[in-house]
Structure 1
């Protein structure tokens, strides 16, 4: 028992097992194998390393965005002239990455809290019984006003009339407003910080430049009309009822080269809908909200209500930095080497199941042992390898032909005997 345990441990620690290989000379199988290996090699080099940059590690940026609008608008509604500056037409005024620029509006001045008739066409009535409280969105007083045949409401009076949207938009001058974007990004993994005010973008350049995708792609000052045009829409159409536009600042950087080549790209996407689609086909058109300015007059609280139609701008920072790293490189190479095993699997399937001589190849690839053979060797007190050597020599002496017995061990037996 002790010797058996010692032999087992010795075999485990001091022996090396290697798989048996069979060299098959077959043109079709050889061509299939090389084509598969060539395809795997093309995948590893072309897709993994060149396209997917599998030899690099990646990181996304921590970003901050600051915006600033410039421009003055002018309106003349029913002889009432007014100038609109940034404080009037930008909501909210803090310079966030998401803001609205007013392009059209409906104004209702001098509203005060009280009782007044609803607009004609809304909440029509013939008697007070038609104006029961809680029947409509506004707070009803239960009175039907004879002059208008509408219900009396408790609200800010006079009530807003937003049926007719000004056309053309009142603030078409917004097309010439300018937007300044200041963006900073940091890639924590690589310790790299960049700003969209890259090398060459100084105060003198900014005071003169205007963004153009071809002539001035790095200029951070944008004309609103150009932004809308680049997003695929008509400014007049989107300015009338409002809309939404996404400005994407794309930082895709290869940090294996000089960091000065890490520069932003600006893209514009209309979030208003499909430019080819007519407004009548849309379920909800435009973008609007209400804004009130409260004041006191003769100790009575009043307000000026504006229904604002505008363009909502969402500035989205998109980032991806890459740099060489030995760990993903080795991982990509290891996975690629593993995929080379596909060629062996496919060729084995062809050899063992598709070719006419599949039984011959199967006998060459696999060795079979019978239980009675092992018992015979043990009864003679011989080692198994010696028994197989003697058995093979006996079969060879009897005229066994290797071409008729694909599993013949004559060649290997001769090598084994010569070594001994």
Structure 2
């Protein structure tokens, strides 16, 4: 009921927000079944946090087998030099373990790379999903005093106020804080109690130490007694509202 709206005034101090990444490779003792990140980790569900996907990589028909590592792993070798292909050592992508063999790349057969044992084939193809800002909502906030009481903030408005490379942010993802400051004087006019918004970039798409935000999930199925999965890696914008 619009006539019975209560405003809660409080101060928020964001001391630190940590976004942790975990890449762990686990091998079963009996059947050498490999568990990588999509096997045991799902995106966390948190209060006052939401995620908008901007890009995804899909790898179809993966199965537990051996295959060439991706060129992006830079595990190059030749028949005379297999020093990078140490048997049972984890790959640089942590998607599997080296078999010790040097084989032609699936992406370019003229280049030889280390062979891996894991979920094959490894991630190779990209599929880009653009954020469309064309929804016809009438209550959009645009930063002016006339729209200060409107609840819908376009994503483009937020991105325009971040000092960052927007192309890298949309490609690799990022972590953004939306801070609401409620400074209200109910003795004057409760209707003029509207929040002031501030936007901060906590993790960018071109961060040198840990760029972007992404997570993986797998859809599994079985065919003729063989386990397969479709692996999806999703990049996007993670918003923390305080």
State the TM-score, normalizing by the size of structure 2. 0.63
Cα distance in 1, alignment partners of residues 102 and 208 from structure 2: 36
1:155 CA displacement: 0.6
CA shift in 2, pair 1:118/1:235, >3 Å: closer
Matched, 1:155 2:109: no
CA shift in 2, pair 1:233/1:152, >3 Å: closer
Q: Which residue of 2 aligns with 1:176?
A: 133
Cα distance in 1, alignment partners of residues 151 and 44 from structure 2: 19
Cα distance in 1, alignment partners of residues 198 and 156 from structure 2: 15
1:226 CA displacement: 1.9
Provide Cα deviations, 1:69-103, integer angstroms capped at 9, x if missing partner: xxxxxxxxxxxxxxxxxxxxxx9696842222111
Out of 10, 33, 36, which is 1:60 matched to? 10
1:132 CA displacement: 3.0
Matched, 1:135 2:102: no
1:239 CA displacement: 1.0
1:227 CA displacement: 1.9
Q: Which residue of 2 aligns with 1:311?
A: 237
1:244 CA displacement: 2.2
Cα distance in 2, alignment partners of residues 112 and 216 from structure 1: 53
Query: Contact 1:292–1:303 (CA<8 Å) still a contact in 2?
Result: yes
Indicate the structure whose relative CO is greater, using CA pairs within 8 Å and at least 6 residues apart: 2
Matches within 5 A, 1:306-345: 306-316=232-242
Query: Contact 2:88–2:97 (CA<8 Å) still a contact in 1?
Result: yes
Q: Which structure shows the bigger proportion of residues in helix conformation? A: 1
Matched, 1:119 2:70: yes
CA shift in 2, pair 1:128/1:296, >3 Å: farther
Q: Which residue of 2 aligns with 1:226?
A: 157
Query: Contact 1:108–1:160 (CA<8 Å) still a contact in 2?
Result: yes
SS of residue in 1 equivalent to 2:66: strand
Query: Contact 2:58–2:233 (CA<8 Å) still a contact in 1?
Result: yes
CA shift in 2, pair 1:232/1:315, >3 Å: same
Provide Cα deviations, 1:338-364, integer angstroms capped at 9, x if missing partner: xxxxxxxxxxxxxxxxxxxxxxxxxxx
* Structure 1: unaligned runs, 5 residues or longer: 1-58, 63-90, 179-205, 317-420
1:266 CA displacement: 2.2
State the TM-score, normalizing by the size of structure 1. 0.39
1:207 CA displacement: 5.8
Cα distance in 2, alignment partners of residues 296 and 99 from structure 1: 33
Query: Contact 2:49–2:239 (CA<8 Å) still a contact in 1?
Result: yes
1:127 CA displacement: 6.1
Query: Contact 2:43–2:215 (CA<8 Å) still a contact in 1?
Result: no
1:60 CA displacement: 3.4
Q: Which residue of 2 aligns with 1:67?
A: none
* Structure 2: unaligned runs, 5 residues or longer: 1-8, 13-41
Q: Which structure shows the bigger proportion of residues in strand conformation? A: 2
Cα distance in 2, alignment partners of residues 171 and 233 from structure 1: 20
Matches within 5 A, 1:20-419: 60=10, 96-120=47-71, 121-126=74-79, 130=83, 131-137=85-91, 138-145=96-103, 149-161=112-124, 170-172=128-130, 174-176=131-133, 208-214=138-144, 215-233=146-164, 235-257=166-188, 259-272=190-203, 279=206, 282-316=208-242
